[in-house]
Amino acid sequence: MLAFERVAHTAAARAGALLRARYRERQEVTLKGEVDLVTATDREAERLIVEAITAAFPEHGIVAEESPPRPARDGHRWYVDPLDGTTNFAHGYPHFCVSIALACDDDLRLGLVYDPVREETFSALRGSGARLNGAPIGVSDTRVLEQALLGTGFPYDRRQHADFYLAFVAEALHRAQGVRRGGSAALDLCYVACGRLDAFWEWKLHPWDTAAGRLVVEEAGGRVTDFTGQPHRLGGEETAASNTHLHRPLLDMLAAVRGELAAGTPRPG
Q: Which residues have C-beta within 8 Å of that of residue 159, sequence separation ≥ 6? A: 34, 35
Q: What is the pLDDT confidence band of residue 164, given thresholds at 50, 70 and 90?
A: very high
Query: To the nearest whole number, what is the mean pLDDT of the chain?
Result: 93
Query: Which amino acid is residue 77, in one-letter code?
Result: R
Q: Which residues have C-beta within 8 Å of that of residue 45, sequence separation ≥ 6? A: 15, 18, 19, 82, 83, 98
Give the residue range(s) of CATH 3.40.190.80 domains in the chain: 145-263
CB 213 within 8 A of CB 113: yes
**Residue 220 backbone phi and psi in degrees, to 5:** -90, 0
Q: How far apart are CA 229 and CA 248, in angstroms?
A: 8
Give the residue range(s) of CATH 3.30.540.10 domains in the chain: 3-137
Query: Which amino acid is residue 268, in one-letter code?
Result: P
pLDDT value, residue 156: 76
Yes or no: is domain 145-263 CATH 2.40.10.220?
no
Q: pLDDT tens for residues 78-119?
A: 999 999 999 999 999 999 999 999 999 999 999 999 999 999
Q: pLDDT tens for residues 29-88?
A: 666 655 456 788 999 999 999 999 999 999 999 999 888 999 999 999 999 999 999 999
pLDDT value, residue 161: 76
pLDDT at 258 over 60: yes
- Which fold, 3-137? Fructose-1,6-Bisphosphatase; Chain A, domain 1 (3.30.540)
Answering whether pTM is above 0.85, one says: yes
Q: What is the pLDDT confidence band of residue 2, given thresholds at 50, 70 and 90?
A: confident
DSSP 164: H
CA dihedral 39, 40, 45, 48 (to 10 degrees): 160
